[in-house]
Structure 1
Amino acid sequence: MGTIVIVDDDAQLRHSFEKLLTSEGHVVRTSATGETGLELIKAKLPDLVIMDVRLPGMDGLETFRAMHDIEPKLPVIIMTAYGSTDTAIEATKLGAYDYVLKPFEIPEMLNTIEKALEAGRFMRSRVSVDATAVNDSSDAILGRSKAMQEVFKAIGRVASTDATVLIRGESGTGKELVARAIYQHGIRSDKPFLVINCVAIPETLLESELFGYEKGAFTGAVTRRVGKIEQANGGTVFLDEIGDMPFSIQAKILRLLQEKSIERLGGRAPIPVDVRVIAATNRDLEAALAEGRFREDLYYRLKVVTLRLPPLRDRSGDTIVLADYFLKKYASEMNVNSPGVTAEAKTILNNYAWPGNVRELGNTMQKALIFSRGAPISAEEISQAIKGETARREPIQSSEDEPIRDWVRKVLALGGGEKTFNDLIDKFAELLITEALNLTSGNRSQAAKLLGLSRPTLLARIEKYGIKIETAIRSE
C-alpha cells in the first residue's frame, strides 16, 4: 500500500478516487491545482501522483516538470481526454510513468496504479549488497559463501559501466534483486528503471507494451501510445524471463541493442532511444538456440556480461544468514520481536535442499514466525512450514484428477494443433486465478499468497487472461 496524491480540478473525480483508493488500503491526498499539488509533494513525498493534464493555473506539463525536478523517481500517471493526448505523450517522453485516457475502467486503472507503485518502489527502495552483515534494509542480497562473494564483485564491476548484462539462475535465486542493485549503483540511477516480464504478457500485447504503437496501427488503437522502452529513455530496462520472449519480438530487441532505436507498431520512422538493458532468465538458452527458439545474434548481444546466481544448495553457510535476515525482516513488518531459531531448527534449515531457493526460504521463515507465538522457532515449526510448501507441489491424487483428465480428453478429441498445449495451460491458469480470487472475495494480495505468486506477477496474469474483478467501489 502507498501514499497517492490526486491532482484534478474535478471535485467529483477526486472524491471517487479517494473513496476507491482508500478502500484498497492506500493513503490519499488530493489537490485541485498544480500549485497546491506541488505543495503537497514538498510537504511529504508520496509514492505516486495521478494528475490530470488540463489544470487551472499551472498546466499538467508544467506541473509534471516541477514534480520531476523535486524527485525524478516519483512515478506520475497522467490522465487525459482524447483531445489532449499529445501533451500526455510529451510528459511520458519526459519521464511520466504512463498516461490513461478518460473515461477509464476501474480494474484497468487499479492495475496501472499497482504497477506504478511497484515501479516506484523498485527505483527508490535501496537493495543492500552486504556479504557479512544483516541490516534493516527491506531488500538485501546477503551471503558469506565464496559463490556469493563472486556475485558481489561482479555487481560492483558491471554497475559502473553501461554494458548489457544477462543474469542467469534458477527460479528464486534473486535475479530481480541483482538487476535492481546494478541499476541503483550504476551511472543511470537517477533515471527510470522499468521492469517487463516477458512471460506474463501475451505476444501481441508484449510488442505494444515494449515498443508502443501509432494511431490506427490496429483495431482499438485510437491514439498514439508510447512503449515502456521509450518511456525509460536515459534509464534502464529490465527484461525478466527473456528466455521466454517470443521469437518474433527478439529481432526488435536485437535492433535496440545494435542500433539504439525502435519502431512503434504501425510506425515507419526509427525512434532513437538510449537505454541500458539488463535481462534475466532461468531457461537453458543454449538448448533454445539448438532448437531454434532463441536467436543466436541476440544471445551474443545479451551476454556481453553474464552473472550466474548460484542456487541456495550451493551456497555453503548462507542458509542461516538468510534465515536470520528474513526472520528479522518479517518480525519488523509484523511489529513483533524476532524470536530467534533453535539449534535443532538450524540443522533442518542447513540440511534441506531448498528447491525453491531463497524465495522458498523466505516464505518458510515467514510461516514459521506466524505460528511461533513468540518462542524461538523450533525444528517442528520449520518442518511444518517446509511440508506446507512441498504439499502444494504434490500431484493431485488419481481419484481427484479424473474430472481434469476428462476435460483434457474432450479438448484433445476436438483436434489438436500447434497451440493446443499452451492454450490448455493458459486456460487452467485462468481457472486457478479466477477461483483464488473468488475464494478471497477479489483480494489480490491474498489470492497471490494462495497461488504462491508475487502480487505483480498475479496482476500481470490477470491482465493477460482478461480476468474481470468486481470492484465494490464504483466511480460516481
Structure 2
Amino acid sequence: MPRVLVVDDDSELRATIKEVMESEGLITDSAENAEKGLMLLKDNIYDIVLLDVIMPKMNGIDAIPLFLNTQAKSKIIIMTAYSTVDTAVEAMKKGAADYLTKPFKINELMITIMRILEEQKFKDCAEELDIDCALSTMANPIRRQIIHLIDQNKTLRFMEITRALGISDHTKVNFHLKVLKESDYIIQNSEKIYRITDKGDKILSCLSVIEQNLSS
C-alpha cells in the first residue's frame, strides 16, 4: 500500500491532507518541519512526500536534496503559496517530481499523487522487464484479451478461453497462447490448465498503467 509523508507547519492543513489520504487508502504520516520529516524518512519508506516551501528552520527547497539522499525513490511534491517560475525551476532542479500552488483543491492533489504513483509503477515494471519486447508481445489485442481473461478467472482451460474470446479458429488461439507461453507470461500445467506467471503479473501492471493513461 502506498505511503505518504506530509511535511508542513500548518497543523490544520496537515490534518486535512492526512484525513483525505487515509480515506483513499494511503498510509499517511505527518511532520511539522523538515527536520522531523527527515527523521521519519530514516525510519520509514515513503512513496510520496508532500513538502511545504516556507517553514521554520529549514525551508522545503533546501530540504529536497537531504530527503532524496535519505530515500532516493521517494517522489517529492512541493507545496507553495508563492508560486513563481523561479521557485518551480529550482525545486525541479533539486529533484522535486511536481509542485502545487496553495490554496489547492483536494481533487487536484489526489490527481497529482495518483499520476506520480502510476508513473513510478510503470518505471518499476520497465526496470524488471524487457519493456520493448513486452510491449511488442502485448500489442496484439487478442493476447491482451487472453491474459486479462486468465488473470480475471485465475485458471482457464483452452476451450474456456476460445469460448470467452468468441473465436472459432482454434489454430489462431493456439498461436497466441504459444506466444504468451514463450514470453513466460502464462504457463500450462499437466492438466492443460492455464494460469498467469509472476512475470505475467508484472506485465499486467504495466498494461494497466498504459491503458489508464490512454483513456484519461
TM-score of the superposition, structure 1-length normalised?
0.33
CA distance in 1, matches of 2:165, 2:214: 28
Residue 119 of structure 2 corresponds to 119
CA distance in 2, matches of 1:80, 1:116: 18
Distance 1:311 1:83, change over 3 A: closer
Q: Secondary structure at the match of 2:49?
A: strand
Distance 1:456 1:31, change over 3 A: farther
| Correspondent of 1:362 among 139, 147, 159 | 147
Residue 299 of structure 1 corresponds to none
Residue 165 of structure 2 corresponds to 386
* Superposition CA RMSD, Å: 3.0
Q: CA deviation at 1:460?
A: 6.6
Given that 2:4 and 2:26 are in contact with CA atoms closer than 8 Å, whether structure 1 keeps it comes out as: yes
- The answer as to 2:114 corresponding to 1:174 is no
Given that 1:7 and 1:31 are in contact with CA atoms closer than 8 Å, whether structure 2 keeps it comes out as: yes
Given that 1:51 and 1:78 are in contact with CA atoms closer than 8 Å, whether structure 2 keeps it comes out as: yes
Given that 2:64 and 2:95 are in contact with CA atoms closer than 8 Å, whether structure 1 keeps it comes out as: no
Partner amino acid for 1:21? M
Residue 99 of structure 1 corresponds to 99
- The answer as to 2:18 corresponding to 1:3 is no
Partner amino acid for 1:95? G
Q: Counting helix residues as a fraction of each chain, which structure ranks higher?
A: 2
Partner amino acid for 1:378? R
CA distance in 2, matches of 1:311, 1:378: 21
Q: Secondary structure at the match of 1:174?
A: helix
Given that 2:47 and 2:117 are in contact with CA atoms closer than 8 Å, whether structure 1 keeps it comes out as: yes
Given that 1:81 and 1:102 are in contact with CA atoms closer than 8 Å, whether structure 2 keeps it comes out as: yes
CA distance in 2, matches of 1:18, 1:83: 23
- The answer as to 2:23 corresponding to 1:63 is no
Partner amino acid for 1:364? L
- Residues 12-411 of structure 1 correspond to what in structure 2 (within 5 A)? 12-82=12-82, 86-124=86-124, 127-128=127-128, 140-141=129-130, 174-175=134-135, 309=136, 355-357=141-143, 359-369=144-154, 377-387=156-166
Given that 2:146 and 2:161 are in contact with CA atoms closer than 8 Å, whether structure 1 keeps it comes out as: no
Identity %: 32
Given that 1:5 and 1:29 are in contact with CA atoms closer than 8 Å, whether structure 2 keeps it comes out as: yes
Q: Secondary structure at the match of 1:22?
A: helix
Distance 1:381 1:38, change over 3 A: farther
Partner amino acid for 1:30? S
Partner amino acid for 2:161? I
Distance 1:8 1:125, change over 3 A: farther
Q: CA deviation at 1:95?
A: 1.9
Partner amino acid for 1:382? I
Given that 1:52 and 1:79 are in contact with CA atoms closer than 8 Å, whether structure 2 keeps it comes out as: yes
Partner amino acid for 1:58? M
Q: CA deviation at 1:69?
A: 1.5
Q: CA deviation at 1:6?
A: 0.8
CA distance in 2, matches of 1:355, 1:124: 24
Q: Secondary structure at the match of 1:82?
A: coil
Q: Secondary structure at the match of 2:119?
A: helix
Residue 447 of structure 1 corresponds to none
CA distance in 2, matches of 1:10, 1:43: 23
Given that 2:65 and 2:95 are in contact with CA atoms closer than 8 Å, whether structure 1 keeps it comes out as: no
Q: CA deviation at 1:385?
A: 4.3
Q: Secondary structure at the match of 2:141?
A: coil
CA distance in 2, matches of 1:66, 1:54: 16
CA distance in 2, matches of 1:456, 1:108: 21
Q: CA deviation at 1:64?
A: 0.7
Q: CA deviation at 1:459?
A: 5.9
Given that 1:111 and 1:459 are in contact with CA atoms closer than 8 Å, whether structure 2 keeps it comes out as: no
TM-score of the superposition, structure 2-length normalised?
0.69
Distance 1:74 1:123, change over 3 A: farther
Structure 2 portions without partners, runs of 5+: 167-206
CA distance in 2, matches of 1:458, 1:122: 11
Partner amino acid for 2:12? Q
Q: Secondary structure at the match of 2:51?
A: strand
CA distance in 1, matches of 2:110, 2:214: 12
Q: CA deviation at 1:105?
A: 2.1
Given that 2:76 and 2:97 are in contact with CA atoms closer than 8 Å, whether structure 1 keeps it comes out as: yes
Partner amino acid for 2:120? G
